[in-house]
């Protein structure tokens, strides 16, 4: 199946919607001689500038060239971080798919039953941090990277931990099998969305993911950010990830879940076929290929 579809322009729009300005607390000089000096220090062509970063991430407090240049440069840094983190999250999810597996299923006739915890897979945090596009981050960028990684990983783990298999008809051949033991057979391919989770909101709701990222961010960085630019960044990333998750969930097929089990009623020649009772599955990776 294809990787998560990260709609990055949607994140840019969410960030812009927060209405952040640079410089953050700027006020045009007023009075005499402040207003005159401020007007004289700029050449006519510098009093208005066109943004180079489209779409912009920040709006200038004053449309002059100095403020607009600041918005372009700082905004590009935020945009690059936003895009790189989305790529890293997609990378980590691809690694998770290679290792994810269903385990401890109970098979009764055609039905497969899995309690919460039946979907097993590694946490995303380490793979996000070590993704090639963000592994070299250092300083404050590394702290922001780690907060995003921890927040996304926790939400994904919460969703994964509550996934169930609600008696899906995965094994039609097990309704009447001609033998004492049904050999391992693959399940009927099924969209992953048919396996509900009690923690769906952890991944489907951007606000939950945003909150987890904020909680994981270093307190010193938050104290130095009075306009809460980090919240706009987390909101943008969370919105794109939540949308990507909801696009992926119905398109991802669950397949190659190998089920097996005994047929206790099998007693030839009088009872030549019977249903599987008390069967299970063979845990194996690559179930969500």
pLDDT of 287: 63
Let me know if residue 86 belongs to a domain.
yes
In whole angstroms, give the CA distance from residue 133 to residue 85.
8
Query: What totals of helices (H) and strands (E) does the chain contain, helices first?
Result: 9, 12
In whole angstroms, give the CA distance from residue 50 to residue 44.
14
Q: pLDDT, tens digit, for every residue of 140-199? A: 999 999 999 999 999 999 999 999 999 999 999 999 999 999 999 999 999 999 999 999
Q: Are 15 and 235 in contact (CB under 8 A)?
A: yes
Let me know if residue 88 belongs to a domain.
yes
pLDDT of 47: 67
Let me know if residue 124 belongs to a domain.
yes
Let me know if residue 3 belongs to a domain.
no
The SS3 of residue 261 is strand
pLDDT of 24: 79
pLDDT of 239: 97
Let me know if residue 287 belongs to a domain.
no
* Cut 0.85: pTM above it: yes
pLDDT of 63: 79
In whole angstroms, give the CA distance from residue 204 to residue 281.
29
Let me know if residue 2 belongs to a domain.
no
| Calculated CA dihedral for residues 213, 219, 225, 229, nearest 10 degrees | 0
Strands of the sheet containing 111-114, edge to edge, are 106-108, 111-114, 165-169
Boundaries of domain holding 217: 8-282
Let me know if residue 289 belongs to a domain.
no
Mean pLDDT by 10 residues, the chain (289 residues): 86 96 73 60 69 91 85 95 97 94 96 96 96 95 97 97 97 96 95 95 95 94 92 97 96 93 93 95 78
Let me know if residue 50 belongs to a domain.
yes
pLDDT of 65: 86
Buried b (16+ CB within 10 A) or exposed e, 112-151: bbbeeebbbbbbbbebbbebeebeebeeeeebbbbbbbbb
- The beta-strand segments (E) located in 63-219 are 101-102, 106-108, 111-114, 119-120, 165-169, 181-185, 190-191
In whole angstroms, give the CA distance from residue 26 to residue 41.
16
Residue closest to 172 by CA, chosen among 285, 246, 276: 276
Query: How many distinct structural domains can be found in the chain?
Result: 1
């Amino acid at each position: 199946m294809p990787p998560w579809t990260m709609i990055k322009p949607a994140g840019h729009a969410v960030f812009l919607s927060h209405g952040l300005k640079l410089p953050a607390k700027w006020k045009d000089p007023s009075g005499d001689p402040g207003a005159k000096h401020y007007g004289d220090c700029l050449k006519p062509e510098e009093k208005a500038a066109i943004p180079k970063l489209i779409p912009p991430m920040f709006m200038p407090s004053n449309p002059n060239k100095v403020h607009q240049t600041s918005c372009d440069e700082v905004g590009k840094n935020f945009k690059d971080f936003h895009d790189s983190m989305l790529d890293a999250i997609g990378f980590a999810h691809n690694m998770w798919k290679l290792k994810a597996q269903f385990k401890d299923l109970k098979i009764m006739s055609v039905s497969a039953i899995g309690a919460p915890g039946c979907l097993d897979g590694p946490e995303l945090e380490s793979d996000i941090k070590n993704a090639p596009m963000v592994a070299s981050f250092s300083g404050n960028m590394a702290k922001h990277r780690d907060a995003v990684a921890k927040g996304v990983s926790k939400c994904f783990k919460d969703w994964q931990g509550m996934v169930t298999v609600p008696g899906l008809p995965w094994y039609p051949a097990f309704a009447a099998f001609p033998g004492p033991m049904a050999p391992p057979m693959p399940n009927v391919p099924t969209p992953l969305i048919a396996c509900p989770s009690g923690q769906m909101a952890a991944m489907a709701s951007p606000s939950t993911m945003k909150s987890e990222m904020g909680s994981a961010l270093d307190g010193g960085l938050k104290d130095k950010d009075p306009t809460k630019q980090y919240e706009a960044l987390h909101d943008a990333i969370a919105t794109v990830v939540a949308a990507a998750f909801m696009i992926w969930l119905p398109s991802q097929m669950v397949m190659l879940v190998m089920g097996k089990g005994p047929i206790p009623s099998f007693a030839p020649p009088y009872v030549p076929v019977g249903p599987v009772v008390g069967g299970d599955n063979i845990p194996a990776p690559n179930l969500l290929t």
